[in-house]
Structure 1
């Protein structure tokens, strides 16, 4: 991260890297330069050699007609009416985490690793939304959960050691054997869930709230991701639950930023209490747009600590960028989300946490490509509405019930597949009394 900060200060918009005879890389970190690359339609993600074994040729890694077909297939799963159903699940999962926190606080453990707890919570939530599967992962581990976490570490190790990019080498290493064993566990788990749900759909018909059958009555459950895919009558691609990590990273860092900026935390809490006071229950519903300052804090945290720091593209044609420059076909384009978010030409004092950057008045003259935590263009993150809804629900309930304080040590940023920390992210918690 520090090296990228130095590159951005020195070059401002882009620079080139050459990794021997293997790769030519152009790194870009300015909105004017990344815009034409994000808007291009003929792109292909370059992580195939590392990630395809985990996900298959899925939405992130496919290109051309295959990508368009899969994007159309998945889009109904993120329809607004279906997303509303997931808000209840977000509330359930965060309630489980908070009960665990209260129990640990009662035992005298006032400092907790946010990454550990939040990662399990977001995985619990995603499995329920994706498969209607209660893994109970917040309270107990399993072979599947262990494999998901192991794959995250192994993918980064493989990415950073060039000889491991070739399958015939990697398969003969101890790390490769662990990698493919973990992949099989994840694939077998998802395949079993898909087969079970397919049988249920054939027997019982579509669930209620299906976008294809919204008038159905008398069904037992609401639609989830896997229902939408199976109801499309298309082949279901390999599914991965790895993306819970990005939401967990975003939540952990916003907790940290508000812990170190108590005035902003108190302003968020006041806004949240104004919204929830007087209700019969504490459940946060779909009225999430009524939290403007809280949303500004989330966005500023995503700018400062974007969960995904880079997006890699490979183009099938020459790409033109400002200054009369051309990126030749065949070069790897590394679009630095972190670098763009920390570019001092766009963001004065980029290391300072300042939610007012996202006040509507302060955002008017800023390029829409200056803030791209969910990528941009036709291949932007299909689940960004899902992620933002979960971020607001979890943050709202957490600040209503707890005061978050800095931990005993300052965390050090660590880039893996996502923005994490070395040795966890310790924060202290103080329970609050909620007055209705």
Structure 2
């Protein structure tokens, strides 16, 4: 493809992102081609114009041709993240009520309860001055949240130390899945299953499936004994267990487990990434942290808990979180598989080609985001949007498939490209849990900054590690300082 940047991808995802970033910064392309070990070519998009073409198409997730989606199937099954066609349409339709406005509203109480424990677990570090790697703590809190809210499961996860076996399994499974994508010899199933990585992946998948099956079985027993709740809207797992389509057919046991696996992974790990990097930004940009603190302290006054109404009154915090997710996209990229030729400007890509969507590159494209390496939350405030494309901010979707934030009066009409800000993808396959995620993030960050002042550790390397989600190679270590006397923060 003449005029299209091309390069060779080796087996280091960090180097891949670094090289792609250099290409985007220097050549400012909309598409690119990369070769894996010189013989396997893939196509990529790194500009919202190209992303829009792809997201508005019916191209399926690229698991049939290889790539992360194919290998995720062994772990999370054929759930909403991976499935396509009529199965995806049916299951999406059945599961959408689980994220209805009336379901989300009482979850704020759960967010606060989980955050109470989270903040108490950090008290030791604030008192001692010892640095804490915040990501594992946040991951436990978000896993606790998704299990309570979506699956009515309370396992006191945050009391089980800094790591939980499931969180560890997810971390390793994410790494192993991406590692396999980057090693051509592991594309052959026969070779992979006898490798050390293949054996480890199977063992971790078995544990993850066992954990999911236990949650499902426990809920089935409760429903059998007590019956369905009388409330109008059911929780996510109750919908999985009882929903039937227009033909009276419910989900199979395999479908139920796949959706549970999918939502436990997506509902805790991606949110943990967004929260953890937002906390990093609090420490990295102290002036912005104080702006957020001022807003929250004036809003909550003497109250410790965030209410549903409060979530609509946090414009600076909301802008801060959005800019954090622009800088550090929780999901660095997604992919599609073309089932028919597709045109990107003057370039026609044939059917059967695997296409990567580099969300990270889109969020840092200099033609879309001036001063893209500068942290500017005001990008997402009303006074700073007049000269941008109306579709430049779509964290969870745009167009006919856009779902308004359940608690986001700070949402405004943007004059930017609809596909220039897509931390949780876009289009008809946007994140079904978008409102759930944003509300949870805002509760945890607001409560944290209300109680603790965050700073970074001098000399620590905060290098990004873009696996399936955005992690940090050496952890996100922060130092916490109590803003008030300890006695003022007694939590009942």
Q: State the TM-score, normalizing by the size of structure 2.
A: 0.81
Q: How many residues align?
A: 422
Q: Determine the structure 2 residue equivalent to 1:217.
A: none
Other-structure match for 1:253: 277
* 1:53-132 equivalent positions in 2, closer than 5 A: 53-106=74-127, 108-132=128-152
Moved more, 390-399 or 247-256: 247-256
Answering whether residue 15 of structure 2 is matched by residue 2 of structure 1, we say no
Match of 2:265? 242
Tell me the SS of whatever aligns to 1:44. coil
1:205 to 227, 230, 234: 227
How far apart are residue 319 of structure 1 and its match?
Answer: 1.2
Structure 2: distance between partners of 1:166 and 1:358? 45
Alignment of 1:261-272 (within 5 A): 261-272=285-296
Quick one: structure 1 residues 42 and 157, their matched pair in 2 at CA, closer, same or farther if it must change by over 3 Å? closer
Counterpart Cα distance in 1 of 2:292 and 2:58: 39
Change in 2 beyond 3 A, CA 1:362/1:224 = same
Q: 1:176 aligns with which of 187, 190, 198?
A: 198
Q: Give the Cα separation in 1 of the matches to 2:229 and 2:180.
A: 41
Q: Cα offset for 1:165? A: 2.5
In the other structure, the counterpart of 1:133 is 153
* Alpha-carbon distance in 2 for matches of 1:263, 1:272: 14
| Structure 1 equivalent of residue 49 of structure 2 | 32
Which segment drifts farther, 232-241 or 139-148?
139-148
Distance 1:379 1:162, change over 3 A: same
Q: Identify the residue that residue 285 of structure 1 maps to in structure 2.
A: 308
- State the alpha-carbon separation in 2 of the partners of residues 271 and 104 from structure 1: 25
Q: CA deviation at 1:82?
A: 0.7
RMSD over equivalenced CA pairs, Å: 2.0
Shift of residue 88, structure 1, vs aligned partner:
1.4
Q: Residues 60 and 355 from structure 1, CA distance in 2 versus in 1: closer, same or farther, beyond 3 angstroms?
A: same
The DSSP-based 3-state class of the residue aligned with 2:159 is coil
- Aligned-pair CA distance for 1:139: 2.4
Does the alignment pair 1:406 with 2:423? no
Which residue in the other structure is 1:161 paired with? 183
Q: Deviations over 1:340-380 (max 9, x none)?
A: 10000011111110001112243343101110111110011
Gaps of 5+ in 1: 212-222
> Take 1:422 and 1:365, find their aligned partners in 2: how far apart are those partners?
36
Matched, 1:41 2:53: no
Q: Give 3-state SS (helix, strand or coil) of 1:312's partner.
A: strand
> Is residue 406–residue 426 contact of structure 1 (8 Å, CA) maintained in 2?
yes
Q: CA deviation at 1:198?
A: 2.2
Partner of 2:171: 149
- Cα distance between partner residues in 1 of 2:19 and 2:450: 38
Change (3 A) 1:405 1:276: same
Task: Call closer, same or farther: CA 1:292–1:143 in 2, change over 3 Å.
Answer: closer
Q: Which moved more, 1:195-204 or 1:414-423?
A: 195-204
Shift of 1:227: 1.1
Question: Match for 2:427 among 362, 365, 377?
Answer: 377
Q: Does structure 2 conserve the Cα–Cα contact (< 8 Å) formed by 1:13 and 1:30?
A: yes
Q: 1:406 deviation in Å?
A: 1.6
Contact 2:99 2:436 (C-alpha < 8 Å) held by counterparts: yes
Unaligned 5+ residue runs, structure 2?
Answer: 1-16, 245-249, 386-413
Equivalent residue of 1:430, what SS?
strand
Secondary structure in structure 2 of the residue aligned to 1:133: coil
Q: Which has the higher contact order (CA 8 A, sep 6+)?
A: 1
Conserved 8 A contact 2:72-2:177 = yes
Distance change >3 Å, CA 113–CA 335, structure 1 → 2? same
CA distance, structure 2, for counterparts of residue 306 and residue 165 of structure 1:
27
CA apart distance, 1:314: 0.3
Q: Deviations over 1:315-340 (max 9, x none)?
A: 11111223x32221111111110001
Question: How far does the alpha carbon of each residue in 1:362-407 deviate from its partner, in whole angstroms, 9 at most, with x for none?
Answer: 3343101110111110011111111111110001100110011121
User: In 2 relative to 1, CA 405–19 (structure 1 residues): closer, same or farther, beyond 3 Å?
Assistant: closer
Q: CA deviation at 1:249?
A: 1.1
| Structure 1 contact 42–64 (Cα < 8 Å) conserved | no
TM-score by length of 1: 0.91
**What residue number does 2:7 align with?**
none
In the other structure, the counterpart of 1:428 is: 479
**Counterpart residue number, 2:29:** 12
